[in-house]
Structure 1
Amino acid sequence: MERTGSLGSSIRRRSFSITSHLSQQLDNDGDNESVSEAGDIGDRALSSRRNSSSFRVSFDNGLENGAVVSTTGDQKLQPLPVFVHPDSSVRPLPPEIASPIEGSEDTKQEADKDLPKFLDYFSCLVQLAVFGILGVLTRYLLQKLFGPGVADVTSDNTFLYLDLPSNMFGSFLMGWFGVVFKGDITRVSEHLAIALTTGYLGSLTTFSGWNQKMLELSVNGHWLYAVLGCLVGLFLVAFSIIFGVDTAKGFRWLLSKLEIISESGSSNKINWKVDRYKCQVGVMVVFLLLLGLLWSISGALVKAEFKHGGSAAELWFACMVGPLGVWIRWFLARLNGRGLGRAGLFKWIPFGTLIANVSAACVMAALSTVKKEVNTRDCDTVVTGIQFGLLGCLSTVSTFAAEFNAMRESMHPWRAYAYAFITICVSFCLGILIYCTPVWTGGV
């Protein structure tokens, strides 16, 4: 009896140890993924929404242990027990959004609501392009408003670089629409949430422009301004998103007191949702017309202004090539939360955002070298347009700020500063290498 009791106690201790280890591992994995995916997950957002119709998750009495029920084929439904840690980013779906059983009347009605996969992607790309162009235009206006011509707050010769106001404003808005109210916007339209955060706010802010200005300051001997530009820029961007999140939470509390939205975030008085097939097609057509109009106007103005050069021609050329940068960044964002290799190492690093920012900074430095070497009006117009449009939209500060803020509030706040250090140092060092190599070799 004593030996049996001892054996049972040993088994219980081992079971408790395994459960604790599994719980801790799932906790860390969930924290890593949710933090790394705080900014964007790219086209995985559309894929996960579509794939959710192939299964449903049931749970009882609020327990963490759910059951995934297969709904494919003619076989009898069998519940499969799945352990879900309470702090993990993977949680059971609420009953109101759990997908119905395949073959039921609800499923047929749901199928009638969705666009085909190709049109779904196409509609999302069109909306990303439209909001990306609007982000480029807003960034240009903020540069002119705070630059030497009007307010004279920012310039290319100080650590208060020209893109600082747009980076701060975009990060502030990311706190509102990319953190606090993103779920509410998603309830209206998933495409709108993606286009607003990835398209507009991602294009309103730019990391490559920030990096290039600090790089040029250091090359010209203003190392102190370059260091201050990096530190002050990071501090102001981080403060902007924190301020945005706090003010958005206050506004949400006010809306809940006015009974406009409930405590859970659902609207009590407004119930808009773009979920009908005809409505989705109508939205796609409207944005397609808007994109065609924006591109037509930009093309006509580029043709009229190109022979004169200057900022106007550069702006409209940037509007034409900007959507390409948004699309590339959106597809790269699918790497966020995946980690390296099959083992998924370093899941806490958003590799999609990191690759977008670093690659845009490197190409920006290379094009700056080309512009110095060629030194013609037409070359300046094309290169500056690509830098301001395509590379400005490919890189982003607002998403970087959202990821930084999520890491700072996670169980491992040091990762936020490690991520910022990696992004800034790698971009700056590679940019210096690319920008200065022609000078060192006597090419420029």
Structure 2
Amino acid sequence: MDHGQNESEPRRSGSFSHISSTNSSLRRRSLNRLGSSHREIDDDSVSEAGDIGDRAFDSKRHSGSGGLMFSFDNLEENVVLPIQEHSFKESQLDVVASPLPNVILLNKDQNEECKKDLPWLLTYISSRIHLAGLGILGVLTRYLLEKLFGPQVIGATGDHSYMYIDLAPNMLGSFLMGWFGAVFKGYISNFSPELAVGLTTGYLGSLTTFSGWNQKMLELSVDGQWVFSFLGFLLGLFLVAYSFIFGVETAKGLKWVFKRTNLSSKCGFSQVNNIMSRVILIVVMVTMLGLLWGVSVTLLKKDFDDDNSTSYLWFGCIVGPIGVWIRFYLAQLNGQGLGKTQMMKWMPFGTLIANVAAACIMAAFATIKKSVNDKHFNTVATGIQFGLCGCLSTVSTFIAEFAAMRESKHPWRAYAYAFTTMIISFALGTLIFSVPVWVKGWS
């Protein structure tokens, strides 16, 4: 502080000194956690880069973001630091300048308001509604992208090519994960932690699908196109990884524009979440989920009897949220390791189990469809594959974890994780799908 400060403000000077000291400590802790460079990420935490399930709402460990804010984002820009109660009198300024850029200092009344939160049960229900509603939107978006880039329109992807039919949704979902799962997730969490998790785990997790990717490679191998199958995995991993990186870089560029123009402050992006806005959002999500389920049931009844080709989509929208919820619960295993010693803590076992399980279920239904020649059963089976398996598995979270591991002190773990997921899924899928097809001679 300036030595020429008025004698009548010694209390304020002392409080600013205290705040400056607190901010310096906070800055050091943030930098220690994030790392001073992209190669200094905590290796015990990279497996939490994607999703951590219910632990996302544990304020003692995370700031509501639902995932690790690894090196792509800066926690300091979203910090809300309450003023110590003894620092100012209630009649003094409500908001004061801070030595730490972009840190909001609140008085006692505002601090009490920020401490208010939704009841636990309402938060629990709200998070599941967000996951379900946005998960169905992810299923619909995936369907539209498959049709748009598939043989019937653009023709960039296909069922019998290493440019598999789900490539476009996987690339777009990975790109958007760079935006909403890495760079802007903290801003969204400030408004609503449930929305942040709903967008990443619900929408992007359902927009992308690992099980569909694995099944297409299995079908190529069954037809003897082993080279295409290998290229599909290799090229697919390359394209989704760089889609995520491109998403991160473009989001950081937009974030820089926000800083230069101070647009984030003007639009209220830096404001703390409040109860009323979250309640309104819950009402919107409940209404949206009710409409999506209602329309899906109505259209399924209509199309199911007529054997319409879109009937599997509506069944997939109905059962899709089940896959999202299971994946959300499995995500609690991420960052926990194996056994009491927490061996291989760096491996996101929740995401691994979700992807492998979905790939196996999809392969099993593909095998059953070969043996059961019934249109109605095919509709139900395909709906489960497209909806439940598509939402249970994810590429966007998978690639976010892959990217975080590549930026850690042991980048080889990223490739160990990726190839472990692919090899196990493909090997089990071969036993469940390919071997029966070869033995029975099904076309």
Q: Quick one: structure 1 residues 216 and 116, their matched pair in 2 at CA, closer, same or farther if it must change by over 3 Å?
A: same
Q: Deviation digits for residues 346-384 of structure 1, max 9, x if unmatched?
A: 011100100000000000000111111112100110000
- Most deviating of 337-346 and 282-291: 282-291
Q: Percent identity?
A: 57
User: Where does residue 281 of structure 2 map in the other structure?
Assistant: 283
1:250 aligned onto 2:253:
yes
Q: 2:44 aligns with which of 14, 33, 37?
A: 33
Letter in 2 for 1:34: S
* Contact preservation (8 Å) 2:114, 2:272: no
* Contact preservation (8 Å) 1:32, 1:337: no
TM-score normalised by length of structure 2: 0.79
User: Where does residue 15 of structure 1 map in the other structure?
Assistant: none
State the distance in 2 between where 1:284 and 1:278 align. Answer: 10
Deviation at 1:287, TM superposition (A): 1.1
Divergent runs of 4+, >4 A:
26-30, 50-53, 91-95, 97-101, 104-111, 271-274, 439-444
Q: 2:201 aligns with which of 194, 198, 201?
A: 198
State the distance in 2 between where 1:291 and 1:140 align. Answer: 18
User: Where does residue 156 of structure 1 map in the other structure?
Assistant: 159
State the distance in 1 between where 2:41 and 2:226 align. Answer: 40
* Contact preservation (8 Å) 2:240, 2:399: yes
State the distance in 2 between where 1:411 and 1:371 align. Answer: 46
1:44 aligned onto 2:55:
yes
* Contact preservation (8 Å) 2:41, 2:408: no
Letter in 1 for 2:48: E
1:318 aligned onto 2:343:
no
User: Where does residue 74 of structure 1 map in the other structure?
Assistant: none
Deviation at 1:309, TM superposition (A): 2.4
SS of corresponding position for 1:43:
helix
Gaps in structure 2 of 5+ consecutive residues: 1-31, 64-70, 86-107
Q: Deviation digits for residues 248-283 of structure 1, max 9, x if unmatched?
A: 11111122111224xxxxx35425757433433332
1:389 aligned onto 2:387:
yes
Q: 1:300 aligns with which of 298, 301, 307?
A: 298
1:142 aligned onto 2:145:
yes
User: Where does residue 380 of structure 1 map in the other structure?
Assistant: 378
- Most deviating of 368-377 and 303-312: 303-312
SS of corresponding position for 2:339:
coil
RMSD, aligned α-carbons: 2.9
Residues 68-217 of structure 1 mapped to structure 2, 5 A cutoff? 96-97=80-81, 109-110=113-114, 113-217=116-220
State the distance in 2 between where 1:244 and 1:92 align. Answer: 21
Q: Quick one: structure 1 residues 95 and 168, their matched pair in 2 at CA, closer, same or farther if it must change by over 3 Å?
A: closer
State the distance in 2 between where 1:29 and 1:370 align. Answer: 48
State the distance in 2 between where 1:419 and 1:429 align. Answer: 15
State the distance in 2 between where 1:342 and 1:134 align. Answer: 39
User: Where does residue 24 of structure 2 map in the other structure?
Assistant: none
User: Where does residue 77 of structure 1 map in the other structure?
Assistant: none
Letter in 1 for 2:80: E
Q: Deviation digits for residues 47-86 of structure 1, max 9, x if unmatched?
A: x127889xxxxxxxxxxxxxxxxxxxxxxxxxxxxxxxxx
Q: Quick one: structure 1 residues 275 and 207, their matched pair in 2 at CA, closer, same or farther if it must change by over 3 Å?
A: same
Gaps in structure 1 of 5+ consecutive residues: 1-22, 54-86, 262-266
Deviation at 1:32, TM superposition (A): 2.5
Letter in 2 for 1:185: I
